[in-house]
């Protein structure tokens, strides 16, 4: 039996046991999540890969699975504080713990299966589970956000289904290892895949659900949605991208155009946001745009893909820290950016983790995102300098937008809000993990362990 | 012969989609989608029977059981319970039929590159249906009507998958799509209990 099964079995246990009682869920879910994450990390360090009938996990899948497992762990820790704040839940809270685990399970499943059909099923399952998680709070805006998310995401996944069907009717198989498409089929599938799976990634112009869903979800769920669900959909897109660029280049241009537009639109929208969590949601959209550009450019320079996944991992931890600290801040100050003031003074730990993570997700050195964005710019520059100019503009705009808002929230007199120790510690640790991963990657890059 | 029957059924399916686009009464909208599901069930059943694929016959059964009987029944019960919707004309755009025609023609042209890639014409009706269903979802503000649109979209997807090439996993896809329909329904019913009939509004920000 493949070792990857453990990554699915443990979250499955964590899905089933909390159904018995809420207290049991509270007690065991973080522990089981920690075990999953530790196993995944161990597998990643040992360089584990699998290629069997049911499973296919290369290094990229394992990076993603490890990230998912860790974000799941941190989200479950943050949920311990979140569930205390829920006043009138939409359903019994034991289901919250169960769905949280099921959400992680469906994402890890999507990342490690070998069959495109199962990937699609996994992604569609994440839609349902995460939509249900969004309405935990039971307020009207949660229901509306979740509703719009479900409707748009399932419409998008309908298009994605179409790309899967066409891939099958052309290639005769759905196994991602053996997909080969002709030039014409590659262009069609590339377009349908970026529209379909891109809806889940939050790419322009199918991003309409993203700010509503992220803005109204519980903070731990936002962290998982943003940090791990979007990259999971991106991984599935990458599998199809690779198949559709085997013989033709159209899919590369499609991905590049969509990626650049996403970055530009997201960075402009970020500048004009009033609500913290919507701001962060647009920042995720921006990062996924960068990752899509990276995937497109990996056609020219395959080594770039490693840095794209470094970017995804660092972004996941940093964005998780941002969402979780924003969740704590929102419950004390209010939803609007203008209402939050002097975070650094009220809680230095939260302030530092928010500020540093905001720098991390906008690609400031020494974070791994900086290295990735720099390489993406470099590769773009070596191919076409107009692409590089557009990408650079987008990156600069988003850097200014997010950090400007972040600075407004961090500095100031403060309002004397008080936070629990754990609430401060979780985002801080996540930020430090992002920093640690980044420094390790920089070390690898400097010592020649990472060549693109 | 069989191909002609399939095409005939397919065109009737398209007509139901156009009917649904402009129908303003909830109860007959639900009846329309139930009827459409019966037709889709027939199509899937015929293809499955002809090619001897048991999964497709099961899928046809599921289609009729869930999307033609169970879900429409649940929807009808809900419509009858809420007095506001009895005979209530939900807001439909009166130019929806024109919009629908434009979308249908557009979908036909969008199908051309697919045809060039896989050289099969028999998916075109399902493809047009997919776009019309999306139009139903986006042109309606009412959550129950959007569920009906979702059911129609699901019909279109399964129809397309069966017509283009009977895929190995189509049964699993169908079951999952039905589960999502149930979740959508559960969310709406739960939300109605709390806040009354759900209309999706623009969220601020």
The candidate with the shortest Cα–Cα distance to A329, out of A350, A349, A358, is A350
Taking one residue from A and the other from B, the number of pairs with CB-CB distance under 8 angstroms is 117
What's the token pair of residue A421?
């120790």
Grade residue A153 by pLDDT with cuts at 50, 70 and 90.
Answer: confident
**Torsion angle, alpha carbons of B81, B86, B91, B94, to 10:** 140
Q: Determine whether the interchain pair B205/A273 forms a contact, defined as Cβ–Cβ distance below 8 Å.
A: yes
Cβ contact (<8 Å) for B157 and A158? yes
Q: Which of B157, B177, B187 sits opposite A143 (nearest CB)?
A: B187
List own/partner pairs for B137-140 with CB under 8 A and 24 or more apart: B137/A151, B137/A155, B139/B21, B139/B92, B139/B93, B139/B96, B139/B99, B140/B90, B140/B92
Residues A115, A179 contacting (CB under 8 angstroms): no
* pLDDT number for residue A289: 93
- Listed in sequence order, the residues at least 6 apart from A427 whose beta carbon sits closer than 8 Å to its beta carbon are A320, A321, A322, A324, A325, A328, A349, A350, A353, A354, A357
Task: Give the residue from chain B lying closest to A116, CA to CA.
Answer: B169
- Residue at token pair 């990390």: A41
In chain B, residues with a C-beta closer than 8 Å to the C-beta of A184 are 113, 116-117
Asked if the Cβ–Cβ distance from A131 to B187 is below 8 Å, we say yes
More confident residue, A45 or A2: A45
Q: Which residues of B touch A193 (CB under 8 A)?
A: none
* pLDDT tens digits, one per residue of A10-37: 999 999 998 888 888 888 999 999 999 9
- Given CA atoms B130, B131, B135, B138 in this order, what sign does their dihedral have? positive
Over residues A120-127, the mean pLDDT reads 90
B interface residues, A as partner, C-beta within 8 Å: 113-114, 116-118, 120, 127, 130, 134, 137, 143, 146, 150, 153, 156-157, 160-161, 164-165, 167-169, 172-173, 176-177, 179-180, 183-184, 187-188, 190-191, 194-195, 198, 200-201, 203, 205
| Contact criterion met (CB below 8 Å) for A110 and A220 | no
**pLDDT at position A208, please?**
82
| pLDDT per residue rounded down to tens, chain B (205 residues) | 888 888 889 889 989 988 888 877 788 888 999 999 999 999 999 988 888 888 888 989 998 999 889 999 988 888 777 665 554 555 666 678 888 889 899 988 888 888 887 777 888 888 899 989 988 888 877 778 888 888 999 999 888 888 887 777 788 888 888 888 888 888 888 777 777 665 554 433 3
Question: What token pair was written down for A236?
Answer: 């599935």
Which residues share a beta bridge with B89?
B25
Tell whether the model's pLDDT for residue A218 goes beyond 60.
yes
- Report the residue of chain A nearest B120, measured CA to CA: A169
Residues A369, A371, A374, A379, CA torsion sign:
negative
Q: How far is CA A171 from CA A9, A39, A46, A49, A178, in A?
A: 32, 35, 34, 25, 8
Q: Is the dihedral of CA A153, A154, A158, A161 positive or negative?
A: positive
Provide the pLDDT confidence category of residue A287 given band limits of 50, 70 and 90: very high
Q: Which of B109, B114, B151 to mutate to test the interface with A (most CBs of A within 10 A)?
A: B114
Q: For chain A, what are the domain ranges?
A: 307-452
Nearest to A155 among B117, B153, B203 (CB): B153
Q: Which of A12-21, A104-113, A208-217 has the lowest mean pLDDT?
A: A208-217
Mutation for testing the B interface, residue in A143, A173, A191 having most B CBs under 10 Å: A143
Residue B199 is predicted with a pLDDT of: 57
| Spatial contact of A104 and A72, defined as CB atoms under 8 Å apart | yes
pLDDT at B202: 40
Q: Residue A426: CB partners within 8 Å, gap ≥ 6?
A: A74, A77, A78, A321, A324
Q: Which two tokens stand for residue B86?
A: 């009895």
Residue in B127, B201, B205 nearest the CB of A278: B205
When CB atoms are compared, the residue of B116, B156, B200 closest to A147 is B200
The ipTM, to two decimals, is: 0.86
pLDDT at position B93 is 61
Residue of B nearest to A88 (CA): B194
**Closest chain B residue by Cα to residue A143:** B191
Which chain A positions have a beta carbon within 8 Å of B195's beta carbon?
Answer: 140, 143
pLDDT of residue A51: 86
* Residue B204 DSSP code: P
Q: How far is CA B12 from the centre of its chain?
A: 13
Q: Judge whether A207 and A237 are in contact, CB under 8 Å.
A: no
How far is residue A39's CA from residue A42's CA, in Å, rounded to a whole number? 5
Q: Which two tokens stand for residue A148?
A: 């719009």
Among residues of chain A, what percentage have pLDDT more than 70?
A: 99
Least Cα distance to A61 among A128, A7, A13 occurs for A7
Q: Which of B117, B118, B172 sits opposite A121 (nearest CB)?
A: B172
- Spatial contact of B17 and B129, defined as CB atoms under 8 Å apart: yes
Chain segment A257-276, per-residue pLDDT in tens: 999 999 999 999 988 888 88
């Amino acid at each position: 039996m493949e070792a990857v099964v453990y990554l699915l079995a443990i979250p499955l246990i964590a899905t089933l046991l909390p159904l018995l009682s809420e207290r049991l869920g509270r007690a065991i879910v973080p522990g089981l999540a920690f075990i999953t994450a530790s196993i995944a990390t161990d597998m990643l360090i040992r360089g584990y890969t699998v290629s069997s009938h049911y499973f296919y996990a290369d290094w990229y899948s394992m990076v993603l699975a490890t990230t998912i497992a860790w974000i799941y762990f941190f989200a479950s820790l943050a949920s311990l504080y979140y569930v205390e704040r829920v006043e009138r839940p939409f359903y019994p809270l034991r289901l919250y713990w169960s769905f949280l685990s099921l959400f992680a399970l469906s994402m890890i499943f999507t990342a490690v299966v070998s069959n495109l059909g199962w990937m699609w099923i996994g992604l569609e399952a994440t839609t349902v589970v995460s939509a249900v998680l969004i309405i935990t709070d039971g307020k009207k805006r949660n229901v509306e956000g979740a509703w719009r998310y479900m409707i748009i995401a399932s419409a998008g996944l309908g298009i994605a289904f179409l790309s899967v069907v066409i891939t099958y009717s052309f290639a005769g198989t759905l196994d991602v290892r053996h997909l080969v498409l002709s030039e014409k089929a590659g262009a069609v599938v590339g377009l349908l895949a970026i529209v379909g799976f891109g809806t889940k990634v939050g790419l322009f112009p199918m991003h309409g659900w993203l700010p509503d869903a992220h803005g109204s979800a519980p903070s731990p769920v936002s962290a998982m949605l943003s940090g791990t669900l979007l990259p999971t959909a991106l991984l599935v897109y990458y599998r199809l991208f690779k198949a559709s660029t085997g013989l033709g280049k159209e899919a590369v241009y499609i991905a590049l155009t969509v990626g650049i537009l996403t970055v530009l639109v997201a960075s402009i929208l970020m500048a004009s946001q009033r609500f913290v969590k919507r701001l962060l949601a647009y920042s995720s959209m921006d990062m996924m745009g960068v990752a899509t550009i990276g995937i497109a450019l990996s056609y020219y320079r395959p080594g770039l893909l490693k840095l794209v996944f470094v970017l995804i991992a660092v972004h996941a931890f940093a964005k998780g820290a941002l969402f979780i600290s924003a969740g704590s801040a929102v419950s004390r100050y209010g939803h609007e950016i203008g209402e939050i003031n002097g975070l650094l003074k009220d809680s230095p730990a939260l302030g530092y983790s928010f500020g540093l993570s905001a720098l991390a997700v906008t690609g400031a050195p020494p974070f791994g995102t900086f290295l990735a964005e720099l390489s993406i710019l470099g590769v773009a520059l070596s191919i076409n300098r107009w692409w590089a100019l557009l990408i650079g503009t987008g990156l600069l705009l988003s850097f200014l937008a997010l950090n400007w808002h972040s600075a407004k929230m961090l500095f100031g007199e403060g309002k004397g809000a008080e936070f629990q120790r754990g609430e401060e510690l979780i985002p801080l640790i996540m930020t430090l993990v992002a920093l640690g991963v980044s420094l390790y990657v920089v070390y690898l890059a400097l010592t020649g362990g990472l060549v693109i | 012969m069989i191909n002609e029957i399939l095409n005939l059924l397919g065109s009737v399916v398209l007509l139901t989609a156009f009917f649904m686009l402009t129908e303003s009464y909830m109860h007959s909208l639900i009846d329309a989608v139930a009827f459409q599901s019966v037709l889709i069930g027939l199509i899937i059943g015929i293809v499955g029977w002809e090619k001897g694929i048991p999964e497709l016959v099961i899928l046809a059964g599921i289609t009729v059981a869930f999307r033609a009987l169970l879900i429409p029944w649940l929807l009808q019960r809900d419509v009858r319970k809420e007095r506001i919707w009895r005979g209530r004309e939900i807001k439909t755009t009166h130019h929806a039929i024109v919009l629908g025609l434009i979308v249908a023609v557009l979908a036909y042209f969008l199908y051309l590159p697919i045809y060039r890639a896989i050289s099969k014409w028999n998916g075109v009706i399902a493809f047009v249906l997919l776009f019309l269903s999306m139009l139903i979802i986006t042109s309606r503000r009412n959550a129950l009507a959007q569920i009906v649109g979702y059911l129609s979209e699901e019909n279109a997807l399964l129809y397309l998958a069966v017509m283009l090439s009977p895929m190995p996993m189509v049964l699993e896809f169908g079951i999952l799509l039905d589960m999502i329909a149930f979740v959508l329904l559960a969310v709406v019913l739960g939300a109605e209990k709390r806040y009354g009939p759900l209309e999706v509004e623009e969220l601020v920000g």
